[in-house]
Amino acid sequence: MQQNHLELLAQQKSIKYRSPEAVAQIPLLKLEWVWFYVAGTLCNLECAHCLVNAGPDSRVLIPLEMEEFIKALQEVKRLNHDQTFQIGFTGGEVFLLKSKKFGHRLFDMVETALQYGDLLILTNGLLADDKTLATLKEIEQAASHTISYRISLDGPTAEENDAIRYFRNKKGTLRLIMESLQRFVNHGFLPAIAYTYEGSGKPQEVLQKKAHLEARYRKLLKEWGLHELELWGIPFFDQGYETTRRERLGLAHINSPGITNHCIATYTGHGYHLFQCSYSRSFGKELTGECGWYKCAVLPARAIDPNAFLSNNLKDALDDILLDHPSCFTCFTAATQGIGMSCSGKIN
């Protein structure tokens, strides 16, 4: 039922989006980042704005098995001629895989990933207890590559954050997340903070509001003795639960007239590097059990965007990417603001 609802939302968004005759194309400049939906879309939270409809029962994507993960890594290594590359773990909640239910495979996956390159783990941080963090620190110290973490917040106050980022029973998370951040720091990690902001509007106004919001986050971090942590803004994507949230609150939808190559040239100066599809691909596993490569970490499943699936093998997933989905306009808008949009935090 949930997947049918997700497909219906995707269809509604596509109706509003009118792709132009000459849809903009982004070339793959270099495969620097590879994203893995290691936990699928399973999550211990059920956030109101989640663009992949993650939650405790979500099956938009399902968790990767160890063999599937290793096979995908080996594909990238071969195509990169044995050069190292950046790896991202996302979901869903990555730390769910530390449990006995999943054979504690998180630790094996981390150890394996570090044989290929540096690793970034996106997490809500709530399952990162002292024992888990100590184990991850030991794994990193024994490896030749490093682990970094990014933890999400959706407001610098409990009132703002807990209205979006919560458990299924609507219990808030701000205090728990701040305590988790302190645990990370105590174990020698310096996680970055990912915060959401409204990216639509006039560029100057968006940047001013974003700067004001970031200052408020700085104040929060200082109050918790975490002033050294970096902040990274991610615009809201009008898909998944976020589309429902906007409808419920009467917020304007992020609509697009379509993006052409002329738009890219005129408003970004051919700034292909400002789009993460110019240097990354994502890998996930459909509910059917089919594994494959997707054009974007934001569009990781056929239920979200039928055109997002590229191929079962990486070699056939390296062609130019069409900016033919409504969410592509969010990335385009960020590019016109000079910010760019990157799940990796690559662009400043």
Contact 267, 261 (CB under 8 A): no
pLDDT in tens, 225-249: 999 999 999 887 777 767 778 778 7
Measured CA to CA, the distance from residue 110 to residue 303 in angstroms comes to 28
Positive or negative, the Cα torsion across 261, 345, 50, 76? positive
Measured CA to CA, the distance from residue 299 to residue 316 in angstroms comes to 18
3-state secondary structure of 42: strand
Q: Per-residue b/e over 318-328, b at no fewer than 16 CB within 10 Å?
A: eeebbbbbbbb
* pLDDT under 70: residue ranges of the chain: 1-21, 241, 254-257, 270, 339-342, 344-348
What pLDDT is attached to residue 66?
A: 98
DSSP strand pairing (147-153 vs 119-123):
parallel
Contact 60, 303 (CB under 8 A): yes
Contact 191, 184 (CB under 8 A): yes
DSSP one-letter code for 275: B
Which sequence spans correspond to the domains of the chain? Answer: 2-336
Measured CA to CA, the distance from residue 296 to residue 277 in angstroms comes to 6
How many residues make up the chain in this entry? 348
Measured CA to CA, the distance from residue 164 to residue 40 in angstroms comes to 21
Domain covering 2-336 in this structure, CATH number: 3.20.20
Q: Quick one: tokens of 167?
A: 């458990």
N-to-C CA span, the chain: 40
What's the order of all strands across the beta sheet hosting 86-89? 231-235, 192-197, 147-153, 119-123, 86-89, 33-36, 280-285, 291-294, 309-311
Measured CA to CA, the distance from residue 189 to residue 130 in angstroms comes to 12
